[in-house]
């Protein structure tokens, strides 16, 4: 567990069954997702198996490819930020 500005961030290994189901729902493959993300399929495979840290831009790209929210992908990768309600984020700047 690491701490970021008073909030602890917990990461676990990715939920492989969620990823497989999300790909199946889109009738897509892991290789197709790697192509969409512009990355080597082996690098994506390592990220999806927990052998490599996934990058934020990859999380966003996966969410777009699977047509799901970034929160869902973060949850599948075991990323939880304590102190925030699900679906919310701290606001920086003016509204």
pLDDT of residue 40: 96
Tokens 């990323």 — which residue?
Answer: 79
- Residue-wise pLDDT for 11-30, tens only, equals 567 888 999 999 999 999 99
Instruction: Place 38 in a pLDDT band, splitting at 50, 70 and 90.
Output: very high
pLDDT of residue 54: 86
Distances (CA, A) of 93 to 4, 61, 89, 90: 19, 25, 13, 10
d(CA 69, CA 67): 7
pLDDT of residue 14: 85
d(CA 42, CA 55): 15
Asked if residue 82 lies in contact with residue 8, where contact means CB atoms within 8 angstroms, the answer is yes
| Count of beta carbons in the 10 Å neighbourhood of residue 26 | 14
């Amino acid at each position: 567990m690491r701490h970021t500005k008073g909030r602890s961030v917990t990461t676990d290994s990715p939920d492989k069954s969620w990823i497989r189901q999300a790909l199946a729902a889109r009738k897509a493959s892991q290789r197709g997702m790697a192509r969409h993300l512009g990355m080597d399929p082996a690098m994506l495979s390592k990220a999806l198996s927990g052998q490599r840290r996934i990058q934020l831009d990859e999380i966003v790209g996966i969410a777009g490819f699977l047509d799901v929210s970034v929160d869902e992908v973060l949850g599948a990768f075991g990323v939880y930020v304590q102190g925030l309600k699900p679906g919310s984020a701290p606001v920086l700047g003016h509204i």
